[in-house]
Amino acid sequence: MTFEVPAHGAKPVSRIRQKNEETIIKAAEDEFARHGYKGTSMNTIAQNAGLPKANLHYYFTNKLGLYVAVLSNIIELWDSTFNTLTAEDDPSEALTRYIRAKMEFSRRQPQASRIFAMEVISGGECLTEYFNQDYRAWFQGRAGVFQAWIDAGKMDPVDPVHLIFLLWGSTQHYADFATQICRVTGRTRLTKQDMEDAGDNLIRIILKGCGLKPAI
């Protein structure tokens, strides 16, 4: 268990506040993923969190504030998955690891993926802070890793930027479109095995498509 050490001058975060905020954010995540920002009411979140509605406003002032808190939470998770690749890595191994990590994310955090997707689809106004200069630089850095591999003759000269979109689109699809996938394949939900099969398939096609030998 870790203690919150408040910065000098900042208010200490009480144990009870931390716990309640977590409960509320969790409940909010489920609702926002299912019904979008507007489609979610503070009332429903309060019920799912087992707290009176006024408490949500006590902790988060606004509905928008709560939503942004949920989004920030998601983005922390997002970033943590994103920095596994370096130019020194073996391309096959690194790409395999990355695809597995993204599929694992789609499996374990589908709501997070969906909230992020809905936010981006509807213009992503709450993500302007996130989609800033740093983000663009970070993205160029990621693309640079692929470019380094290409320049070293380790993989085909594909467009690194579009390769990243291919990786994102194909892996996130399993979280965001799970409903459609289940309907079409006659499943009620996607099992761990389903997701691993999907990941293996992506790894096989994308690696070969980039002129890489499978690392497995």
Q: How far apart are CA 104 and CA 202, in angstroms?
A: 13
The correct pick among 41, 122, 132, 140 for binding DNA (CB under 7 A) is 41
Give the interface size with a copy of itself as a residue count (CB under 8 A).
Answer: 55
At 53, the amino acid letter reads K
Of these, 17, 26, 57, 173, which contacts a copy of itself (CB under 8 A)? Answer: 173
Name the residue nearer to DNA (CB basis): 42 or 178. 42
129-158 positions binding a copy of itself, by CB under 8 A: 131, 135-136, 139, 156, 158
Any idea what the Cα angle at residue 162 is, between residues 199 and 36, rounded to 5°?
70
163 lies in the site for a copy of itself, by CB under 8 A: yes
- Measure the CA–CA gap between 104 and 142, rounded to whole angstroms: 20
By CB under 7 A, the residues from 49 to 108 that bind DNA are 51-55, 57-58, 61-64
C-beta of 18 vs 180, nearer to a copy of itself? 180
Q: Which is nearer to DNA, 118 or 167 (CB)?
A: 118
| Closest to 31 measured CA to CA, from 75, 80, 66, 81 | 66
> What x-and-dash track marks residues 83-122 binding a copy of itself by CB under 8 A?
-------------------------------x--xx-xxx
Report whether 181 contacts 174 (CB < 8 A): yes
Taking a C-beta distance cutoff of 8 angstroms, is the pair 24, 69 a contact? no
Contacted entry of DNA, a copy of itself, none for residue 166, CB cut-off 5 to 8 Å set by kind: a copy of itself
* Residue 113 · residue 35 · CB < 8 Å: no
How far apart CA 118 and CA 112 sit, in angstroms, is 10
Site residues (vs DNA, CB under 7 A) = 14, 16-17, 20, 40-43, 51-55, 57-58, 61-64
